[in-house]
Structure 1
Amino acid sequence: MFEFSSLTGAAPPIPDNLSLPQFLLQYKHSIRPNRPHNIPWFVNGINSRKIYEEEIIHRTACLASGLTTVFKLSESNYPICIWAVHQLMGIVSLANPSFTQSELVYQLNQTRPTLIILHSQTVNVARAAAQEMGLCLDRLVILDQAQSMQSMVSVEDLIKLGLVCPLFQGRALQIGEGRERIAFLSPSSGTTGVPKIVAISHFAVIANCLQIAAHNKVGQNYTSWNQQRYRPGDVCIAVLPFYHIYGLGVVLNLILFCGMTLVIVPKFQLIPFLESIRQYSVTHLMLVPPQVLLLCKEPVIKDYDLSQIRMVLCAGSSLTAELADQLYQLLPSAQIGQAYGSTEATGVVSIWPVNQFHGISGGELIPGTAARLLKSDGSWAGYNEPGELHVKTPSAALGYYGNKEVTVETFVDGWIHTGDLVQLDENHEVIYIERLKEIMKVRGFQVAPAELEGCILDHPWVADVGVVGIPDKYSGEVPLAFVVPAPGIVEQVGIKKLKMAVIKHVAVNKAPFKCLSAVELTDDIPKNSSGKLLRRLLRTMVPSLATKL
């Protein structure tokens, strides 16, 4: 068996007796740089308020004291909520705030929370989902102080309650406990099928943070291109959601571990994003390809001075060579590269090395990570040969929560079967080729065709359906549905009305990033003798539709 290993060596020591907040707020690891007291942890991108270490520790302890029960779902992107729950040995399951009621119910049904923290903009969906699940509405806590939500208990109310209680510091974990205690239940489509919940331990989150830090030589006295990549006092803007493993693991945990300041904004909007870069002297950008495309294509960019940007990481999906070249030209003084990872690996598997100013493809395997590639003929691939990527890493998740059958298919003898076709060169650079399994990557988010097919089949005008991903310049991929109409429905309502009805049905029942790009009518959906949909045959029909799409 040909096995690839990280050229940067073993992972640094990983403590297995710490919770995530104990690691981030209290523990002094040997490779962690010192944060000067005058460097804030967070800056509120709305009101510019700076939040320092002492306040974070105090508010986290107060919120933990104020909480009388553990919750498992947070609609917020507020780290203090996450850490307070972890201090109580609770589990956090972060949800996309754009979820519809049915999507949120699906996640609630899998995680079974006892309390929900939500933003005021999502209160109607959260209330409806909670009622459908039989969860009392007094188990909903509002994150922000919206005037119309004064009847609901807020996070600030709980913090004030905690001020009059003994501060809760959290108990110490036993040796090895961090490896098994679940920190997050994170949604993922896995390698196939409908969305699943990945169980991630405290140890795995801490491990990935330390692996990335070691790979980037954080805390070491080295100079690369006369600029160390992550330094205390650097500033990163958080435009990626914390409910995504990229935003949670890299943008939040790594940036804080490195002694940097994180500017938190509600969501990505190009002009406010550019204004924040200027206002807060942002030095680091963590992006996905659609955001890179906007930076490279929008004319308004020329009105902003981006010369202070020192580093850009692009991940979530692969960046085309053409778009990467445009980014190099836009930010000629910035180190720019890519990373490859997955929720099942708790984040990053590979990232571009510090001795490359501009990264190549998915980068090198990070410390402590091993890989092997399974070819289609069942043999193991060597250098520059494509195969399905199997990964072994200390940051591997525990498996799929409540789904043992799929867990044993994906997590095999310590190896994660990623379902991605890649190849590795002599420098152990991961070169992504394509997904082998039935999952699309839309704007960095996983979208399962089976989930959309189930939704479309609920429409009475549809007899059968098959969904595939088609290339898209902005989103990477977008869903296209091949629909077999119900008998007589085309004659009754017409082709245009049928297509629009299917598109609207998905838009109403699914999050915006899952919406269909188009619908094509067909007489039959190709399937094998056992009834399994043959998506590869549907994909062969896509080129013939190019002029129509």
Structure 2
Amino acid sequence: MNLYGSLWSSARRNPEKTALVSGSRRVSYRELVWAVEDVASRLEAMGLIKGDRIGLLMKNGPEFVATFYGAMKLGLIAVGLNVMFRRSELEYILEDCGARVVVAEQALVDVLRETDPVARGDIAVLPAEDVLRGGDFHARMATSGPAGWEDGDVKPWAARAEDDAVIAYTSGTTGFPKGAVHTHENILAHLEGVRRHLGFKETDVFLASLPFFQLVAFLIHPVMAIHVGGTVVIQQKFEPEGFLRAAKAEGVTFFAAVPTIYQMLDAASAEAGRALRSVRMGICAGSPLSAELRESFERRHSFRIVHCYGMTETALIVACEDPGVPPRGVSVGRVLPHVRVRIVREDGTPARPAEPGEIHVGAERALRAYWGKPTETAEALREGWFATGDVGRFDELEHLHIVDRKKDMIIRGGFNVYPAELERVLLSDPRVAEAAVIGIPHERLGEIPKAFVALRHPGTATSEDILDFCREHLASFKVPGEVEIVEPDFFPRNALGKIVKPELRSRLLSDRADPAKNGSVATGVGGLGAFSTRDRK
């Protein structure tokens, strides 16, 4: 079976059930299959054949979902395109993947047409607004369904389980984006594994506000909902009041969000308390919630927030907490049964229990390749394992703890310091809402950690207060050399709301190179190195 077959199976079981809700629009499974058949026919008429790449440049909506499944039926390879991309960013990905068609919403067509491959005529553009064809689509669907619906005699779909389904581009924070290729089989195995672990059923109602062009967000919301025969409520983008209205009106049972969204929902606690009564579980993605926020949110709203671990290169979730088991600090839970994980040292030998090392994921549940990049593929996939570049460890109960990114590690006077460990300590301070730690140059020690901290309530702590808290909970060589208090909007973020550290690092280095941008800095020496404090007003 391929991904289109997953939709077909759910539609056959319950054709009149609502599959998608988007504002005032409601699309049943019968209607969704018709729309998918329709868009597949048009793409086929444009000359697309199995293996061709198709770009999806649109905000969250039924059109995105229908286009994706139409591509899956034909055996095309879907490429989600960030709606915030500028011309050069779009151009790079379109050239890299060799897309033949881009389905784009009208508001984004102008920037698309500025790209060289579209201007040359190498790529055709199909308006996203035509995918469901408005009232005409619903009129045609009022009394009929796709050909062969009643007897199941439909045209066979082209893709096989082992064929490529998607190319998901990494964020590009370490250079040019790389396209992670995933097969139908890999995605379906992840969907089924996560379904079993989290207990998703056809009665579940998913609320999707994270951007669909991000693969993990797309798979955990509409694709998972369709896989289990549930309903997905679509927000074009996150907005607290609309999110809460939709949750209450539709009886939402599940959503995934980043810490920023949980903070915004918590700030609207009076309304959220009524609107989220039907929710049975939420996922926190991207980075962990502060202990204070997680505990208060769960207590107020009476549902679990589970941390999980996954990335673009693994398509979906590798490890996840059990919603029925109390959390163990900020672990991401146990590795799911359908995935293999090992921890290895720098020399490639297995790490001892509780010893940090690089996380390797079994290659059968990771990307097939980086599109058009055999060298990078060979570096990442070795002897049946995918090297994630993340540092982790297992505790005595085999819960996985993410220590940091290998590339983010700070070497302070010969000691390894992992920013993620410092961030976890900072987030355990009830005064702290968000924190990011990066390495900055130091004349004597090589590097020292600098912490940027946003407070839950302005004025409740100074940089020196935060340093004192760190000294109580960290070895001296791990204590930040600098702490800067910032506003929440100070942090550069990606489309999921996750803090982009390379951009933060670049900004800091630029500021240090320009004396006019530097405020007064108090410095001192203690323990293994210097520390300074500075508050951003």
Alignment identity in percent? 23
Tell me which residue corresponds to 1:40.
18
Question: Aligned match of 2:57 in 75, 78, 90?
Answer: 75
- How many residues were matched structurally? 429
Task: Find out whether 1:140 has 2:110 as its counterpart.
Answer: no
**Which residue identity does 2:392 align to in structure 1?**
V
- Native 8 Å contact 2:306 2:323 kept in 1: no
Task: Find out whether 1:171 has 2:156 as its counterpart.
Answer: yes
Q: Check 1:231–1:207 CA distance in 2 against 1; reply closer, same or farther (3 A cut).
A: closer
Tell me which residue corresponds to 2:36.
60
Task: Find out whether 1:198 has 2:198 as its counterpart.
Answer: no
**Which residue identity does 1:171 align to in structure 2?**
P
Q: Check 1:470–1:156 CA distance in 2 against 1; reply closer, same or farther (3 A cut).
A: farther
User: Structure 2 CA distance, aligned partners of 1:250 and 1:239?
Assistant: 11
**Which residue identity does 2:292 align to in structure 1?**
E
**Which residue identity does 1:194 align to in structure 2?**
F
Tell me which residue corresponds to 1:113.
99
Structure 1 position 66, deviation (Å): 2.0
Tell me which residue corresponds to 1:547.
535
- Which is richer in helix? 2
Tell me which residue corresponds to 2:310.
341
Q: Check 1:204–1:470 CA distance in 2 against 1; reply closer, same or farther (3 A cut).
A: farther
Structure 1 position 79, deviation (Å): 1.1
Tell me which residue corresponds to 1:269.
239
Structure 1 position 189, deviation (Å): 4.4
User: Structure 1 CA distance, aligned partners of 2:306 and 2:278?
Assistant: 17
Structure 1 position 94, deviation (Å): 0.4
- Native 8 Å contact 1:191 1:437 kept in 2: no
Tell me which residue corresponds to 1:26.
9
Q: Check 1:244–1:289 CA distance in 2 against 1; reply closer, same or farther (3 A cut).
A: same
| 1:437 counterpart SS class | helix
Q: How does 1:337-486 map to 2 (within 5 A)?
A: 337-356=306-325, 358=327, 361-376=331-346, 379-392=349-362, 394-437=364-407, 471=452, 473=454
User: Structure 1 CA distance, aligned partners of 2:104 and 2:450?
Assistant: 32
Gaps of 5+ in 2: 410-418, 421-437, 439-448, 456-491, 515-527
| 2:242 counterpart SS class | helix
Q: Check 1:470–1:21 CA distance in 2 against 1; reply closer, same or farther (3 A cut).
A: farther
Q: Check 1:72–1:542 CA distance in 2 against 1; reply closer, same or farther (3 A cut).
A: farther
**Which residue identity does 2:26 align to in structure 1?**
K
Root-mean-square deviation over aligned CA pairs: 4.0
**Which residue identity does 2:2 align to in structure 1?**
S
- Native 8 Å contact 1:142 1:155 kept in 2: no
User: Structure 2 CA distance, aligned partners of 1:277 and 1:335?
Assistant: 16
Question: Aligned match of 1:239 in 209, 212, 230?
Answer: 209
TM-score of the superposed pair, with normalisation by structure 2: 0.70
Q: Deviations over 1:430-469 (max 9, x none)?
A: 111211126999xxxxxxx9xxxxxxxxxxxxxxxxxx99
Structure 1 position 23, deviation (Å): 2.6
| 1:327 counterpart SS class | helix
**Which residue identity does 2:535 align to in structure 1?**
T
| 1:344 counterpart SS class | helix
Structure 1 position 183, deviation (Å): 0.7
Tell me which residue corresponds to 1:207.
189
User: Structure 1 CA distance, aligned partners of 2:104 and 2:360?
Assistant: 37
Structure 1 position 231, deviation (Å): 2.9
Q: Which has the higher contact order (CA 8 A, sep 6+)?
A: 1
| 2:233 counterpart SS class | strand
Task: Find out whether 1:156 has 2:125 as its counterpart.
Answer: no
User: Structure 2 CA distance, aligned partners of 1:371 and 1:394?
Assistant: 11
Q: Check 1:109–1:335 CA distance in 2 against 1; reply closer, same or farther (3 A cut).
A: same
Tell me which residue corresponds to 2:260.
290
